[in-house]
Amino acid sequence: MAIRSVLEKLARYAITRLCFFFNAICAKTVDVPKLDKLEEDVIVTLCLLEKYFPPSFFDIMIHLVVHLVKEVRLSGPVYIRWMYPFERYMKVLKGYIQNRTRPEGCIVEQYIAEEAVEFCTEHLSDVSTVGVPSSQKMGVSKPLSGCTVSLVDRDLLNQTHLYVLENTEEVLPYIEKHMMFIMATYPKFKKRTKRLQDKHNNTFIQWLHLKVQSELGKENNASC
């Protein structure tokens, strides 16, 4: 939806295929029999990208996408091995640097100081430490608070999803089409605004999903 008004139809189709590929290999569960099909699809996707993007777009990183399926087959799901947690922690370590001429020394000193302060706050609850908020000080007898899990029911999730869709500019034409579809299917709703709106709220998400799939299928057939 975000690139609908930015790129041409065939270029959008190639990018959408690439997004679906990354969505599949980054899932928590991987269907092993479908890996061969994924590998074939990503090769076709890269060929489509070569048709619609300049040669300067392609470097070794684009080529490495071809080998991602092989890595999944050999090493398991991607989310177990990706580097996002380590990159986030690198941001923390970079925040320790006060002297840019000696970054390693700053990181070591700050890390040791943080470890020492954390150790003291765990065992010396009556001591006021410097630089640590009082809310982080815990006594030995005080355990960590347990996490609370909030379950969102399906109705609330659908309401949130519908709110986001109705406030997205690219979706507005589809809202009008869906209203016309409802009025054509249920002529009695033309004079009953409340029932028309309720029907729209209850069926728009599923209708939009099928509509987008249908349009992508038509674009695929047209490109072939």
Q: For the segment 15-29, what is each residue's pLDDT rounded down to a tens digit? A: 889 988 988 888 888
Q: Rounded to 10 degrees, what is the CA torsion of 19, 20, 25, 31?
A: 180
- Examine the pLDDT at 136 and tell me if it is beyond 60: no
- Examine the pLDDT at 178 and tell me if it is beyond 80: yes
CA atoms within 13 A on the CB side of 122: 8
Amino acid at 39: E
> Cα 222 from chain centroid?
29
Residues 196/179, Cβ–Cβ less than 8 Å: yes
Q: What rounded mean pLDDT belongs to the chain? A: 81
What is the per-residue pLDDT across 54-86, written as a single tens digit (0 to 9) for each? Answer: 888 888 888 888 898 898 888 888 888 888 888
> Mean of the pLDDT values across residues 39-54?
88
Residues 138/122, Cβ–Cβ less than 8 Å: yes
- Tokens standing for 156? 């609330």
> Mean of the pLDDT values across residues 148-164?
82
Residues 168/207, Cβ–Cβ less than 8 Å: no
Select from 173, 199, 202 the least CA-distant residue to 188. 199
pLDDT at 52: 84
pLDDT at 140: 45
What is the per-residue pLDDT across 162-176, written as a single tens digit (0 to 9) for each? Answer: 888 888 888 888 988
Residues 18/45, Cβ–Cβ less than 8 Å: yes
> Mean of the pLDDT values across residues 151-164?
85
pLDDT at 164: 87
